[in-house]
Amino acid sequence: MSCPKTQHLLQEYFSDELAPVVRDELDKHLSECSHCSTELELLLMAQGNLQQWQEKQVPHWDRGLTLFRQEHKTISNASGFWSRWQWLPTAASFVMLCVLVFNFSIVTDDNGLTISFGGSPTSSSSIQSQLAEFQQLQNAEMQALVARIEDRADSNNVQLMQAVLEQTQRSTAESFDQIYSYFEQQRLLDLQDMRVGYEQLADSDYKTIRSLQQLVNFVGYQSDIR
């Protein structure tokens, strides 16, 4: 037994939206016509079978990020304040490399950084004593700052030294290339560490740097008026 309305009605059944009038008409016919209702049931079953698809997880891939970054240059180069410190780990690595490869020994000066402003003051003794006091204060702060930076560099160096010794002990036939690539790797890691470290340092030492600038201005002013 067939029905002339099947095709038209069932095609409508799968529409995205049906006017309520059409929907009512459809329901009414389906309740009366066994051919159409059986047919619909089978079509829904076929649809249901397809819907059994099990979503598969996407295998790992880079999502085009390599290309994206390349073209947008989002790997930002160190800029501003931090670019000035970039040479630090490089230099440390290089020094270590020299020490290890060429068996150099380097004697560091324990006096640290000393700032001398030279020239004999011609101004009044009160200004002179104030300036001396100010200089002393700022010298101490500068020493502290430098010591902290050196500490950081030192601990980096110690770590480097330990790591390198470990590395070289493992194989005495270690090639220059291997050591170099190790340093390069270490340097990149250091760069990340140091950036974070110096950011913290910068926060706490911002005041120091400001007052150092004031000092420099002041001294500059002093020598100008002299």
Partner 1 sequence: MSSIDEDQALVAAALNGSAYAWDKLVKRYEGRIYNQGLRLTGNATDAMDLMQEVFLGVYRNLHRFRGDAKFSSWIFRIAHNKAVDMNRRKRFITAQPRLSNLDEDNGMDNFPGEERFEPDARLGEQQLNDSVLNMLSELSLEQRWVVELKIFQSFTFDEIAELQDISANTAKTRFYSALKKLKVVLEEDNVLS
Smallest gap from Cβ 43 to partner 1, in A, equals: 4
CB of 16 to Zn ion, least distance (A): 22
CA–CA distance, 215 with 202 (Å, rounded to integer): 18
Of 222, 86, 98, which Cα lies nearest the Cα of 160?
98
Query: Which of 35-43, 159-167, 173-181, 202-210 is the region at the interface with Zn ion (rule: CB under 5 A)?
Result: 35-43
Q: Which does 36 bind (CB under 5 to 8 A by kind): Zn ion, partner 1, none?
A: Zn ion
> Whose structure tokens read 């290089």?
94
Task: Decide if 185 contacts 89 (C-beta within 8 A).
Answer: no
Q: State how far the Cα of 159 lies from the Cα of 165, in Å rounded to an integer.
A: 10
- The structure tokens listed for 27 are 């329901």
Site string for Zn ion, 184-223 (x = CB under 5 A): ----------------------------------------
- State how far the Cα of 80 lies from the Cα of 59, in Å rounded to an integer: 40
> CA 39 → CA 10, 106, 203, distances in Å?
9, 92, 76
Say which entry of Zn ion, partner 1, none residue 118 contacts (CB below 5 to 8 A, set by partner kind): none
How far apart are CB 25 and partner 1 at their closest, in Å?
A: 18
3 binds Zn ion (CB under 5 A): yes
Those residues whose C-beta lies under 8 Å from the C-beta of residue 39, and which sit 6 or more positions away, are: 6, 10
Rounded to whole angstroms, how far apart are CA atoms 99 and 165? Answer: 12
Q: CB of 207: closest distance to partner 1 in angstroms?
A: 35
Which of partner 1, Zn ion, none binds 7 (CB below 5-8 Å, type-dependent)?
A: partner 1
Q: State which of residues 33, 99, 146, 191 lies at the interface with Zn ion (CB under 5 A).
A: 33
The amino acid sitting at 52 is: Q
Binding region for partner 1 (CB under 8 A): 7, 10-11, 14-16, 39, 42-43, 45-47, 49-59, 61, 63-65, 67-69, 72-74
10 binds, among Zn ion, partner 1, none (CB under 5 to 8 A by kind): partner 1
How many binding residues for Zn ion (CB under 5 A)?
Answer: 4
Least distance CB 63 / Zn ion (angstroms): 51
User: Shortest distance, CB of residue 31 to partner 1, whole angstroms?
Assistant: 21
**Contact, 226 vs 119, CB < 8 A?**
yes
